[in-house]
């Protein structure tokens, strides 16, 4: 950690420190959404709804691969930041080496297990006869490239954990730029449609992973990818997995929820599935900006938890205010121009109507999603494994029964509204746990819970 990063961890005004850590993350995640939107736009120009459907159906698979990266990356990142707050530099090197090689092994396991089961996976994703071939192409390429995708998510997290927020953002932007350039080539020059899009995603993750590995190997003062530093001690495994496993479960639930949600939507036609896919990509932009804010401050919260708890409290307060302001701005914009946004992807009137409706409803939970991400980040940063685990499963546990009931009672409308209901339940559970844990998180300041939850 250089002197500048140390300054932001310890001494910079809270607003400046939050901006230093969160803005690069917000920019990086927002650019990844721009790529995701362009991805659908490029395929949309080919005039084949089945391709857009395949793109939507494969979201659960990507969530699973991302989950493997977060299993190691998020747990290691939070642990590294806490160790830096305690000045335990040698332990940091062991954890970063463990993260690098463990993520590669997990990616190889995913590829080895997934490829022989390719047809079963595609059927399980809910592919229709029209979209089966496109879905299989995408799934095949993603499984082949899963070691690089897993590594990308792991390295992005641990680079950010030492305060190198700009470097973390640069890697994300590099991935997006390479992805967009390759998308244009594979779709419009080589005419590889969906399999080209998947290949572009894998290659861009490989390029970004190489960038992060170079930074860690040659520029970072504390992180390392040296195999000589690799250790899998009980302390490392415990601290990484007590946070990583809940994140992994949460990501799996996200994939499962997307899968289940798609299966319900299939009953209402391919336009409903494609409409959800398009609206989800549009929702990702503000949603991931808020999540980028919440995730971006995790290293600062983790460092302050072991070094200066009063600073941690002020960081949380400022982040809550920022989430409120951003959610309000994004909500107004979307409600004014939702039809035009969906119309960028298609000229199908039914698809525009369904997509716009889904967008209106899901945007209602934007503030809730941002706050839930912050609650989860606080629990991760402060090593509250049980609370992090509860946050990881509560939304999925809530959504599944709500989906069945809402679908029976109100059909398509009930399915869409079930997302808002499950988000609201997760928010309430997170707020209650934060209040209950207030003394444990902040023993040197009274009434932390009251201050933090005052919105």
DSSP 217-281: HHT-SS----GGG----HHHHHHHHHHHHHHHHHHHHHHHHHHHHHHHHHTT-HHHHHHHHHHHH
pLDDT score, position 454? 35
Over residues 145-164, the mean pLDDT reads 90
Over residues 272-293, the mean pLDDT reads 78
Task: Give residue 452's pLDDT band: very low, low, confident or very high (50, 70, 90).
Answer: very low
The per-residue pLDDT for range 37-59, each reduced to its tens digit, is 677 777 777 777 778 778 777 87
Task: Give residue 445's pLDDT band: very low, low, confident or very high (50, 70, 90).
Answer: very low
pLDDT score, position 48? 74
Q: What is the DSSP string of 111-123?
A: HHHHGGGHHHHHH
Over residues 140-163, the mean pLDDT reads 91
pLDDT score, position 255? 63
Average pLDDT, the chain: 83
pLDDT score, position 451? 35
Q: Whole-angstrom distance between the N-terminal and C-terminal Cα of the chain?
A: 34
In degrees, to the nearest 5, what angle opens at C-alpha 378 toward C-alphas 29 and 156? 35
Q: Are 255 and 395 in contact (CB under 8 A)?
A: no
Could you tell me where the beta strands, DSSP code E, fall in 349-417? none
pLDDT score, position 2? 59
In whole angstroms, what is the distance from residue 92 CA to residue 88 CA?
7
pLDDT score, position 5? 67
pLDDT score, position 140? 92
The per-residue pLDDT for range 317-366, each reduced to its tens digit, is 999 999 999 988 888 887 777 667 777 776 777 777 777 788 878 787 78
User: Positive or negative, the Cα torsion across 263, 265, 266, 272?
Assistant: negative
| Four-CA torsion 32, 34, 38, 39, nearest 10 degrees | 20
The per-residue pLDDT for range 101-146, each reduced to its tens digit, is 999 999 999 999 999 999 898 888 878 788 888 888 889 999 999 9
Q: Are 175 and 148 in contact (CB under 8 A)?
A: no
pLDDT top residue among 357 and 235: 235
pLDDT score, position 403? 84
pTM of the model: 0.74
At 351, give phi and psi (nearest 5°). -65, -40
Over residues 8-31, the mean pLDDT reads 83
Over residues 291-319, the mean pLDDT reads 87
Task: Give residue 450's pLDDT band: very low, low, confident or very high (50, 70, 90).
Answer: very low
> Of all residues in the chain, what percent carry a pLDDT higher than 90?
20
pLDDT score, position 448? 38
Task: Give residue 428's pLDDT band: very low, low, confident or very high (50, 70, 90).
Answer: very high
């Amino acid at each position: 950690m250089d002197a500048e990063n140390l300054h932001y961890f310890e001494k910079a005004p809270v607003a400046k420190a939050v901006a230093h850590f969160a803005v690069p993350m917000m920019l990086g995640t927002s650019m990844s959404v721009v790529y995701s939107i362009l991805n659908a736009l490029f395929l949309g120009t080919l005039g084949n709804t089945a391709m857009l459907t395949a793109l939507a159906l494969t979201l659960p698979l990507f969530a699973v691969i991302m989950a493997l990266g977060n299993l190691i990356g998020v747990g290691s990142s939070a642990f590294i930041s806490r160790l830096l707050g305690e000045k335990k530099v040698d332990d940091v090197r062991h954890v970063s080496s463990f993260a690098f090689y463990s993520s590669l092994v997990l990616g190889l396991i995913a590829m080895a297990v997934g490829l022989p089961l390719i047809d079963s996976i595609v059927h399980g994703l809910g592919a229709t006869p029209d979209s089966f071939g496109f879905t299989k192409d995408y799934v095949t390429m993603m499984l082949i490239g899963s070691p690089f995708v897993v590594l990308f998510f792991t390295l992005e997290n641990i680079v950010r954990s030492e305060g190198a927020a700009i470097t973390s953002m640069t890697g994300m932007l590099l991935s997006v730029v390479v992805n967009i350039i390759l998308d244009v080539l594979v779709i419009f020059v080589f005419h590889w449609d969906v399999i080209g899009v998947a290949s572009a995603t894998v290659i861009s993750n490989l390029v970004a992973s190489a960038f992060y590995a170079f930074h860690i190997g040659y520029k970072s003062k504390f992180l390392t990818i040296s195999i000589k530093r690799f250790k899998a001690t009980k302390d490392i495994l415990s601290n990484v997995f007590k946070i990583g496993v809940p994140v992994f479960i949460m990501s799996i639930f996200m994939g499962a929820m997307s899968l289940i949600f798609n299966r319900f939507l299939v009953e209402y036609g391919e336009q409903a599935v494609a409409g959800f896919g398009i609206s989800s990509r549009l929702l990702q932009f503000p949603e991931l900006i808020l999540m980028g804010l919440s995730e971006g401050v995790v290293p600062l919260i983790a460092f302050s938890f072991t070094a200066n708890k009063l600073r941690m409290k002020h960081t949380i307060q400022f982040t809550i205010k920022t989430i409120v302001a951003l959610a309000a701005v994004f909500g107004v914009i979307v409600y004014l121009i939702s039809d035009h946004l969906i119309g960028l992807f298609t000229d199908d009137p039914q698809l525009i109507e369904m997509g716009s409706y889904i967008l209106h409803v899901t945007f209602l939970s934007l503030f809730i999603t941002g706050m839930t991400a912050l609650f989860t980040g606080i629990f991760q940063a402060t090593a509250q494994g049980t609370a992090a685990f509860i946050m990881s499963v509560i939304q999925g546990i809530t959504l599944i029964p709500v989906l069945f009931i809402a679908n029976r009672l109100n059909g398509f409308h009930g399915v869409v509204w079930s997302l808002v209901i499950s988000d609201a339940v997760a928010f309430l559970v997170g707020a209650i746990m934060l209040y209950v844990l207030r003394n444990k998180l902040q023993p040197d300041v009274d009434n932390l819970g009251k201050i933090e939850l005052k919105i």
